[in-house]
Amino acid sequence: MADAAMKPTDLTRRSNLYRVTTQLGARWGEVNGFAAPMNYGDAAAETAAARELAIADLAALPRAGYKGWDMAGWATGQGIDLPEPNRARAQADGTLALRLSNGELVLLSGDDAGSTTIDRLAGAWTMDGAVCFPVPRSDTNTRFAITGARTPEMMAKMCGIDLRSHRFENHQITQTSVARMNAILIRNDRGTSYALDMVLDSASAVYMWECLTDAMAEFGGRPVGLEALRALSA
């Protein structure tokens, strides 16, 4: 729930976007030690917008990565249900396992920030006899969600990949160029609504947010908080 009195600067962990989302009227809540935008003042309108076209800052949600010649052997041994390269698979606790190549894995928490898998693997990895190594994803990368039926049409303005629903299946991944920046796009529907998660360089978060909100303007897209995403999945 949003806490009306909370400011993003109350907590030590904050999104690279917090100045932008503050200007947009974000109401904050604590998620994973971060101040996260829970809503922008109108939860019902945001949920409706999230079905059409919306963007959310998911910087607060936990994420982690592992890479190495036998990542698959190690991760499977840790109980990860691993998909084939360029596919994602939901784990029992809602964590999404993205397989970027034969030897690379990224773990993204569900919208409830309730991933136990990410902490468990961080505790299990040791240097001794390592067949893969951790790739820092929580600070060097950030994450957005772009949701709603008009997402593919909007993304066609800034990305060369056909993301339409019948061409880009749920849990399919594309690692490509978006607005001339490298990004990972994962189709990760919320409930019955089309949704993409984007993982990108955190230092370019403001640039990418501005590109996306600018591209969304002609379709009536708007920023939404975490509560709207959770409402879609409920």
Partner 1 sequence: MKIMTCPLNGPRNISEFAYGGEVKELPAPGCDNETWVDYVYLQENLAGVVKEWWYHTPTAFWFIAERDTRTDTILKTYAASEVFKERVDFAAGDKE
**For partner 1, the closer CB: 115 or 174:** 174
> Least CB distance from residue 177 to partner 1, whole Å?
5
Q: How far apart are alpha carbons 34 and 15 in whole angstroms?
A: 8
Find the length of the chain: 234
State in Å, rounded, how far the first CA of the chain is from the last one. Answer: 15
Torsion of CA 184, 112, 118, 200, to 10 degrees: 20
The only residue of 177, 203, 217, 218 in contact with partner 1, by rule CB under 8 A: 177
**For partner 1, the closer CB: 165 or 182:** 182
Which helix (H) or strand (E) element contains residue 184? strand 181-187
The interface with partner 1 within residues 104-163 (CB under 8 A) comprises: 160-161
> Least CB distance from residue 119 to partner 1, whole Å?
27
Should residue 172 be labelled a site residue for partner 1 when binding is judged by CB under 8 A?
A: no
Which helix (H) or strand (E) element contains residue 117? helix 117-124
Burial tier of 160 (Cβ tally within 10 Å: 0-12, 13-18, 19+): exposed
**For partner 1, the closer CB: 153 or 201:** 201
Exposed e or buried b per residue across 80-111, where buried means at least 16 C-beta atoms within 10 angstroms of its C-beta: bebbeeebbebbeebbbbbbbeebbbbbbbbb
> Least CB distance from residue 85 to partner 1, whole Å?
6
The only residue of 176, 204, 213, 233 in contact with partner 1, by rule CB under 8 A: 176
The interface with partner 1 within residues 65-104 (CB under 8 A) comprises: 85-86, 100-101
> Least CB distance from residue 162 to partner 1, whole Å?
10
**For partner 1, the closer CB: 50 or 106:** 106
> Least CB distance from residue 168 to partner 1, whole Å?
12
